[in-house]
């Protein structure tokens, strides 16, 4: 019976991926005053929400979503963090350049306005400039300042470099805390940590009747008058506090 359940969900997932490909070819785009064309974030956000529902991940929100766009910083546990944040905020993300060539996931990255990171000289300056550009366009952009995923039991130290774009553009930093639960306990199957297979995690999720991701919107942090390190520390403490209060 479980195998039938998994196959049914895989079938729905495949159909949804095909819809994503169709959407990538027909997505509405917005032309800015300077002539630049950006994809409309709303269809991608709806696609992300549907993806989570197919996988049986229920999104539970706490607090108020940000009323104005800014630089979203979140703790990083799983690849599911990305559709979760996108479904709620329409945010773009940072990603390594190779992701743009992955099937479907590459489409998602491009369609959501991802800033791609390449290795090379002066890359940090280029990425910071690209983040600043997104923020000045009035878009949410999300980063994971831990630099890697964790099992969700702790919030690792935040690297402050990328938060400089918020200071440069006078944009708020918006901390968002993520926690995954299964049957009321911390979900130990969903973390995408070193040595764990993307496919195995996906199959484990599809085999279950349901799980939850709890999303805690913390108060935005004004960036004016701050330095990168203090912003990073304040955002990390806000996320830690949100998770410790539950």
The model's pLDDT over 71-88, given as tens digits with 9 standing for 90+, comes to 999 999 998 999 999 999
Q: Tell which residue, 108, 128, 134, has the closest CA to residue 30.
A: 134
Task: Answer whether 144's CB lies under 8 Å from 74's CB.
Answer: yes
Q: What is the mean pLDDT of residues 25-47?
A: 68
Pairwise pLDDT comparison (121 vs 91), residue with the higher score: 91
Instruction: Tell me the backbone φ, ψ of residue 178, rounded to 5 degrees.
Output: -120, 140
pLDDT value at 104 more than 80:
no
Instruction: Provide the whole-model pTM.
Output: 0.89
Q: Tell which residue, 207, 218, 195, has the closest CA to residue 72.
A: 218
Note the pLDDT of residue 27.
Answer: 65
Mean pLDDT, all residues of the chain: 85
Looking at domain 2-244, does it have CATH number 3.40.1130? yes
Domain locations in the chain?
2-244
In angstroms, the Cα distances linking 21 to 17, 70, 103, 110 are 6, 28, 9, 12
Pairwise pLDDT comparison (33 vs 213), residue with the higher score: 213
Q: Tell which residue, 240, 215, 239, has the closest CA to residue 57.
A: 215
Note the pLDDT of residue 31.
Answer: 56
92 Rama sector, left if φ>0, alpha if ψ -120 to 50, beta otherwise:
beta
CB atoms within 10 A of CB 86: 26
Q: Tell which residue, 228, 236, 221, 241, has the closest CA to residue 76.
A: 236
Query: Which of 112-126, 129-143, 215-229 is predicted with the least confidence, judged by mean pLDDT?
Result: 112-126
The model's pLDDT over 127-172, given as tens digits with 9 standing for 90+, comes to 888 888 888 888 899 999 998 889 888 999 999 988 999 999 999 9
pLDDT value at 111 more than 80:
no
């Amino acid at each position: 019976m479980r195998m039938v359940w998994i196959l049914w969900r895989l079938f729905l997932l495949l159909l949804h991926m095909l819809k994503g490909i169709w959407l990538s070819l027909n997505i509405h785009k917005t032309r800015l005053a300077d002539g630049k064309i950006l994809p409309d974030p709303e269809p991608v956000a709806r696609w992300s929400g549907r993806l989570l529902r197919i996988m049986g991940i229920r999104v539970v929100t706490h607090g108020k979503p940000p009323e104005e766009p800014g630089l979203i910083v979140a703790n990083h546990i799983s690849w599911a963090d990305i559709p979760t944040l996108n479904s709620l905020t329409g945010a773009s993300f940072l990603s390594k350049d190779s992701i743009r060539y992955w099937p479907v996931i590459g489409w998602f990255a491009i369609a959501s306005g991802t800033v791609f990171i390449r290795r090379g000289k002066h890359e940090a300056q280029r990425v910071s400039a690209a983040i600043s550009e997104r923020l000045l366009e009035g878009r949410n952009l999300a980063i994971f300042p831990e630099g890697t995923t964790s099992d969700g039991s702790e919030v690792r130290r935040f690297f402050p470099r990328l938060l400089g774009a918020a200071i440069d553009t006078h944009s708020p930093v918006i901390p968002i805390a993520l926690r995954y639960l299964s049957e009321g306990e911390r979900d130990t199957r969903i973390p995408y940590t070193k040595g764990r297979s993307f496919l195995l995690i996906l199959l484990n999720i599809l085999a279950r009747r349901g799980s939850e991701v709890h999303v805690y919107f913390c108060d935005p942090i004004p960036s004016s008058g701050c330095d990168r390190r203090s912003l990073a520390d304040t955002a990390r403490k806000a996320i830690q506090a949100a998770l410790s209060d539950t």
